[in-house]
Amino acid sequence: MSQHPIITLVNDRDVKQAKGFRQAAEKLTGVSLEADYQTEVANAPKRSAEDLTHLNVRVGRKAKQRQNNRDEKHLCEAIARAAVAARTDEASGLSLELPTGETLTIVDHCVPIKTAAPDKEKGDADPNAGVEDIPLLAVIGEDRVGVGVLKFLEPDATRSGAGDTPLRLFLQGLAHAASVDANREALVAEIAEATGKTIGQEAPAVIIAASPRYWELCRKREAQKGAGWIRELERIAREIGESIGTEVFFVGLSTDAPPATEASSDAEGSEGTIGWDYDDEGARLAGDVSLEKAWEVGAGKLKPKPKPKKVDPADAIIEADLSRPVRIYGIRESYGPGDRINHKNLGEGVVQGVVGRGKIAVLFGEDKKLLIHERP
């Protein structure tokens, strides 16, 4: 059994597939995820036990330009830099607010949880195996810690990215929340020192923030099924709210970039047109950032399939039975569907059926008439 069952789900083939993640979501419940969550908490690496901190840990070179598959990381860095600058009075500030109206205070980005690089020889037995940095660490309101998972797409994007389904982002966020719970005491102390906020005992919240274009493409991808996956994610979110206490926010994250200059348009990667650019310290915001609802209320409700229209037997056209001879119409004669009759005024018609006692419907060209038959 894996030490990190939620991380295992994150990498599950069906969870990552655009055509399969809705069915994968249907199999998940608040009860099953609570059990997996507690396993994650129990097995998460504990940095404080190794005298390691979580905040402001920076490794590697500082980014100077856009890089493949690094947009989310760079955007997180840019947002965190603006938030820290606001707290130290180095800039006018970054004010973020969730669609619920609650304030969002960004604490740090790329927050490490691992205590060391995974040991390949240990494989899944190593607690560090598969564990990723928390993209964004935040405080919601005054005392609730939250983890943010980001997905960035440019407004003219035509694909949402291989493997990055909404369910996968959801599970990544839940795995990060478990890591925070496992390291709560150490993180609470570091957050208090960085922001002056005292964190309460509520379970960590999860913020799944993606570009509006991402949510748009996800909903277009499966047409009617688009409402199905929204319904399932909202259901799972409700259930883990009851079982674990974790609140999940699905939000659209917009980066308001200033108009591109000729120089920025020609630059590699088009920095300056995406909402952030680069300086000697790495990625930095070039415009405003705002959060809105990922989808409208009721988006997860499936539209009922239209009921097939009932065909009135009187409206169905009965073709003439050519094996029967044309008969002269008479009120004392008996007729059945398909019979051909010749009426002295109306001409030749085809009997469509018996309508009530002693009457038949007859189609003359495009006109349907009621005639008497079987009169004694």
Q: Report d(CA 64, CA 93) in Å as an integer.
A: 23
Of 22 and 225, the structure prediction assigns the larger pLDDT to 22
Q: DSSP secondary structure string, 266-322? A: HSGGGTTSSSEEEETTEEEESSEEEEEESS-TTTTSPPPPPPPPPPPTTTSPPPP-T
pLDDT band at 259 (very low <50, low <70, confident <90, very high): low
**pLDDT score at 350:** 94
Q: What is the mean pLDDT of residues 232-243?
A: 95
Average pLDDT over the chain, rounded to whole? 88
Task: Give the residue extent of every domain in the chain.
Answer: 5-293, 308-376
Confidence of residue 302 (pLDDT cuts 50, 70, 90): low
Inform me whether the pLDDT recorded for 160 exceeds 90.
no
Classify residue 198 by its DSSP letter.
P
- The reported pTM is 0.77
Question: Which range has the top average pLDDT, 160-164, 207-211, 282-286?
Answer: 207-211
Name the strand (E) or helix (H) holding 249.
Answer: strand 248-256
**Total Cβ atoms within 10 A of residue 87:** 16
> Measured between alpha carbons, how far is 56 from 87 in angstroms, rounded to an integer?
15
Q: pLDDT digits over 165-185, tens only? A: 999 999 999 999 999 999 999
Q: Whole-angstrom Cα distance, residue 69 to residue 153?
A: 11
Distance CA 211, CA 75 (A): 11
Distance CA 270, CA 237 (A): 37
Identify whether the C-beta of residue 116 lies closer than 8 Å to the C-beta of residue 269. no
User: What share of the chain has pLDDT > 70, as a percent?
Assistant: 89
Taking residues 251-268, report their average pLDDT.
Answer: 62
316 CB-near residues (< 8 Å, 6+ apart) = 352
Q: Specify the pLDDT at position 293.
A: 95
